[in-house]
Structure 1
Amino acid sequence: MILKSVENGPLLWLTVEENRVTRPKKYSELSTTKAIQVDCDVKETNIILQGLPPEVYALVSTHKDAKEL
């Protein structure tokens, strides 16, 4: 699961079009499966970040995508 997130990026939220404006779905609008996936993505990110030394965390926290590193 972690490798998949690194290779493909975090879960992308589905979008909704309202009044000709496209926006990401709110958490409450996600299906049960997607909501569970979002929760797991957040948990795995937190586990990884909590295990890093402060100097490595500082390097990682400035990037949105692991591929940038």
Structure 2
Amino acid sequence: MTTLAEFMIIAGADNRPPMLEKSLFDSWKSRMEHYMKNRENARMILNLVQNGPLIWPTVTEEDGTIRTKKYEELSATEKIQA
């Protein structure tokens, strides 16, 4: 019987990440890295997986309170990361 992962390979589903076969983790990890490298913004995706999610920048108000920046307040680089 064909497994779901094998069926996806046969069907040519290249727009979905490869399925995890528990007994084949090393192979799956390698395939996931190749999959991420072929996506748009590959460097940012790999960075996110390796280092965790983006920590939203904060702003210290005049009264000393700390809040997260609003999207409109982000720099161009921060907007791309977000």
With the shorter chain as reference, the TM-score category is 0.3 to 0.5
| Structure number with higher helix proportion | 1
More strand by share: 1
User: Which structure: larger Rg?
Assistant: 2
- TM-score w.r.t. length of structure 1: 0.47
TM-score normalised over the length of structure 2: 0.41
